Amino acid sequence: MNDSILRQNWRRVVDEVHEATDKAGRKVDSVKIVGVTKYVDAETTLELAQAGCLNLGENRPQLLWQKADHFREQSAEPVQWHLIGHLQRNKIRRSLHCNPLVHSVDSERVLKAIGDEAVQQDRVVDALLEVNVSDEESKTGLPIKEAAQLLGGGPPAGVRLIGLMAMAGWGTAPDEAKRSFDSVRELRDRLEEQCDVRLPELSMGMSGDFQQAIEAGATIVRIGTRLFEGILDR
Ligand SMILES: *Cc1c(COP(=O)(O)O)cnc(C)c1O
């Protein structure tokens, strides 16, 4: 039952993302969809993967570990995990075992700690800097100045910084969201030039604003609620 609803939801989201990408004059495969599964259990998460969603995002490290364990126990097809919430330093070791793309590097301390652990584990971790383009106290992410300092210093061994992540803020109106996503892209362009780095990935856009994010240049959208319509509210 859930299974067929999930498949329909997934197809619809894929179609809408393709439509938005096409409308923005971009190549259809230039936007990756991360299914945000923090709302559902491991079994439903696995059903979503079986429906074709092979990039899965969690904001709580422990839930990511649990689900990765469940996938292993079920000998599921490998997926790419995405850690999209704040990563405490004492959760880095186990998280890196799941080989996630870390979207939420929000301090120099966390960046260093990820690097140290990555070197220990003999891996290279792909990560994004989470930025706060509005400089609102209430929002998460690095202030612009700190992001520039961090990039200027070069990432520690074991980490590859491949882009930026941002949130438009909950309940932001569409045109406001678009402006906020535009400013993330402009910040990326500035940082690339100032710091002589490449930041190809832009993780921005959620269920309510992914069209605006894609128009503004998102390469990764993080979609939760839309995938679980008809499942969560029963
Ligand atoms: C929950 C969450 C999402 C998904 O939000 P929806 O509105 O449910 O699509 C995306 N990004 C982050 C960081 C989240 O915590």
Q: What is the pLDDT of residue 135?
A: 56
The rounded Å distance from CA 158 to ligand 1 centre is 27
Cα(220)–Cα(57) distance, rounded to whole angstroms?
A: 11
For ligand 1, pick from 102, 206, 228, 232 the residue to mutate: most ligand atoms within 8 Å of CB.
206
Lowest mean pLDDT among 70-74, 134-138, 157-161, 165-169: 134-138
Do the bridges between strand 125-132 and strand 80-83 make them parallel or antiparallel, or are there none, so unpaired?
unpaired
- 181-232 pLDDT, tens digit each: 999 999 999 999 999 999 999 999 999 999 999 999 999 999 999 999 998 8
pTM confidence score? 0.95
**pLDDT (0 to 100) of residue 133:** 83
